[in-house]
Structure 1
Amino acid sequence: MLEFLSSHTDILNVAINTGMLLVWVVYLQLLLNGYRRQRSSSILITRGAGQGLAARCLITNMSREPIYVSSLIADLSDGERSCKVQLTDLRDLPDDLGTDPRSAMRQGSLDTGHYLDAGHFDALIQQLAEGSEEIAADDVQSFELTVLALYGPEYLPVGARRRFDVVRETPDRVRVVPASVVTHQIHGKRERRALMRELERFM
C-alpha cells in the first residue's frame, strides 16, 4: 500500500487538490447565494383583520433595507374580462393626509418591518371598478395586486404580486381569499423590466 502511494504521489496530489478546489467552489457558491438572498427585496401582500370585504390589505417591507413603494397596480377580472388599473393615483386626496400619509397615498418609503395599509378590500374593489370603467364592483371575481418599489442602488424596480379571489357564498357573506400561501417576489431581470414598462405606461 505504501509503495503504491509513493509511486502515485503526483496523481494523488492532483486528485486531492482538485477535490479541495471543488469544495471551495461549492462553499463560495453557497456564500454568494446567501448574500444574494440577504440583499434581495422581500415584500409581503397580506389580508388582515378578518376574511371578508371589511378586511384590510397590508403591504409590509421585510427586506433588510428600506424600500420606496412607487405604485400599486391591480389586474381586475370578472371571469371573462380583465383590465389593469393603477391604484396609487385613483383618488383626489385632501391637503391633510393625517398621521400616515403613506397609507393615504399608497406610496412612500417603508423601513424594514414597517407596513402600508392600502385600505379595506371593499373600498379597493370599488375604486378599481370605477377606474376600469369596464367591470362592475359586484362582478369582480378576483384581482391580482402588484407592488412596484425601488430598492437600494438597484436601477430596475423590484416588486411583489399576489392574487385574491372574491368568493360570494351568499349575498351577505363575501370572503376575500388569497389564491396562494405566499407572496410572489419579483426578482428576475425579465420581470423587473416588465415592471419598468408598467411604470412608464401609468406615468
Structure 2
Amino acid sequence: MKRVTVFAVLVLGVVLVGGLAAQDEVKDPATTGRQPGEPVHPFVPRGASPFCIQPNAPIPDDCDDNPPCLDSTIVMSETFELTDLNVSVDITHTFLGDLELRLTSPQTAVTLIWDDPCGGENDMSVEIDDEAPPVVCAEPLIGTFSNVPGALAAFDGDTATGNWTLTVTDTLGADVGVLNEWCLVTTPPVPVELQGFDVQ
C-alpha cells in the first residue's frame, strides 16, 4: 500500500488601500470553478497550486510620488518549504508602463518582480515566472513571462506560512486601473511514503 501525503493550504486575504484593511475571500481554483471573464492559469507547473485573492481594488494614481500605494496580502497557514514560486496577476489599467509590482514574504524582503514594461499598452493577465521567456508586449498582455530576471528565485526555500504582500505601484499620473486578482503559484516538495505493497 502506498501512502501519499497531500498538502492543504488555508489562505485568507487582506487588502490595504490608504491604510484601511478589508477582508476578502480567497479562492483555491482546485476547488472553486472560475466564471467567464475571470483570469485563467493554463500554464501552472506540474505539482504547483495557485492560491488567489480577488481584491478588485483601485490602484492609487501616481502613488510613487503620492503614497500610499496598493498593498494586497494573502495569509497562508501551511508550513511547507517552497521549491519554486510564480505570481499571476490580472490588472485592468491604461498605460501598463506605469506599473511596478513588488512581493514581500515573511522571510524575504521587498522584491521587485515586475518593472513597468509595455509602455502604452492596456490591461494584463499574466503569470510571472523566472523560467519563462521575456515579456512580449501586446494589448491586452496575456501569457507567462519573466520580467525581472531571477527575482522570484529569492523566495525559493521560504516557508509558505505567513503574510505574502503584493504591492502595486503606479509611477505616473493620469492613467488609472484596478487590481482584479492575484495568485501565489506555489510548488512545495511532495513527500511520498511507500509503506509496502504486494504483487499478485
TM interval, shorter chain, is 0.3 to 0.5
Higher relative contact order structure (alpha carbons within 8 Å, sequence separation ≥ 6): 2
Structure with bigger gyration radius: 1
Bigger fraction of residues in helix: 1
Give TM-score, length-normalised by structure 1: 0.33
Bigger fraction of residues in strand: 2
